[in-house]
Structure 1
Amino acid sequence: MNNLPSDFWNERYADAEYAYGIAPNDFFKAQLDAIKPGDILLPAEGEGRNALHAAKQGWNVTAFDSSSGGRKKAIQLSLDHGVAMHYEVADVLEFKTNKKFDVLGFIYAHFPIEIRKAANQRLIELLKPGGIVIFEAFAKTQLGNPSGGPKSLEMLFSIEEIEAEFSGIQFILMEEKFIQLNEGQFHQGKADVIRFVGIKE
């Protein structure tokens, strides 16, 4: 049995098929398309579906993930569609950049609970003042639902946890709701998610 998160994700991304499809997350797309393109950072970006959409819309894309398999498929997507993205293999607390970003896209970025607050705060530091956070992840009531998500309650979110972990962010939209997921093989069916849009103060 694999113990490292990167091992899990490399195994999931080993198939030629894209595990979560190549279309962007619906919430991410709707929010991003309303913003003038600039510099965007996408942590835990997996196989690159959201990075691809951002790049096609004219964003300067920086992405990272712990999975080398995810990066390989993301780069192939960018080549197939004739767009550029900068994509690194790195754990969240080890990712380094000299850039500051206009947007952070957290799309199902479920970090281990023991590092999650530090990881989220570290990423917020990379956001410009007035920069925007777009966030969607599974809520705690998603536990056991076959439509997707971590199998550990502590890796799922509550609104109260998000408000505590994203200090320095002014929330302009925050909602927990049931949605219909249709994202590749592993995000299918009714799901309980939390979404927010916030601005760095």
Structure 2
Amino acid sequence: MTTHEQYTAAFWDERYRGSEQIWSGAPNAVLVQEVADLAPGSALDVGSGEGGDAIWLAQQGWRVTAIDVSQVALGRVAARAEAEGVADRVTTMPVDLFAEELPGPHDLVTAHFMQLPGAVRPRLYRAIARAVAPGGTLLLVGHDPEGMPPEAEHDHPHDMFATAEELVTELGDAIEGWTIEVAERRGRDAVQPDGRPRFLYDAVLRVRRSR
């Protein structure tokens, strides 16, 4: 399997169909922390999966566009939005990040744990940055290379992990003149697939576009 095949609709539709639910359904903790001081507006959830982040944002008053390459995942987002009573604030849209432009602009653009290959990450993250409205916020969160278990490289080669500082460098002139509000390695407790506890680090980058 090539790297790109791991990001296709066919790959992810098959993976979602193979399980009733893959992710926890809870919002990412960093998202909850980092948007606490932001006034709700329009948000773009990139790689929304089953919609844990998108639903939570809508519950906080945001108008959310949830995008993902998988229609199966987006169907779950829409169904949960309906069940949670926020369907009027959640729009789903299939988007192949490798081939299509992102909808925008938005007051908040967020992407969590997409773990993109290093060879394409700068181009794709710059495309994500272009979806941020003037005065808006870009929030990128991924696994920091520090402390990642060796077995993680079975599914994620080492170049898929980047520090927040490396993300700033890769974004380059796409965020020139923006305000870097957070660029750090942030620790958290986690649970491994076999149930054992583990301490991991996230790379957290939050930048605000100038008006």
Change (3 A) 1:199 1:182: farther
Which amino acid is the alignment partner of residue 10 of structure 1? D
> 2:64 & 2:131 partners in 1: Cα distance?
14
**Structure 1 length-normalised TM:** 0.85
**For the Cα contact (< 8 Å) 1:147–1:189, is it kept in 2?**
no
The structural deviation recorded for 1:106 is 1.6
Change (3 A) 1:146 1:98: closer
User: 1:193 — aligned with what?
Assistant: 202
User: 2:169 — aligned with what?
Assistant: 164
Sequence identity (%): 20
Match of 2:48 among 40, 45, 49: 45
The structural deviation recorded for 1:160 is 3.3
Change (3 A) 1:39 1:174: same
Change (3 A) 1:141 1:135: same
RMSD of aligned residue pairs (Cα, Å): 2.9
User: 1:135 — aligned with what?
Assistant: 140
The structural deviation recorded for 1:189 is 4.0
User: 2:71 — aligned with what?
Assistant: 68
Higher relative contact order (CA closer than 8 Å, sequence separation 6+): 1
Q: In structure 2, list runs of 5 or more residues that go unmatched.
A: none
Change (3 A) 1:40 1:184: farther
Match of 1:79 among 77, 82, 86: 82
Q: In structure 1, list runs of 5 or more residues that go unmatched.
A: none
2:17 match: secondary structure: coil
User: 1:20 — aligned with what?
Assistant: 23
Which structure's CA Rg is the greater one?
2
**For the Cα contact (< 8 Å) 1:99–1:126, is it kept in 2?**
yes
**For the Cα contact (< 8 Å) 2:43–2:109, is it kept in 1?**
yes
**Structure 2 length-normalised TM:** 0.81
> 1:181 & 1:48 partners in 2: Cα distance?
20
**For the Cα contact (< 8 Å) 1:21–1:184, is it kept in 2?**
no
The structural deviation recorded for 1:59 is 0.7
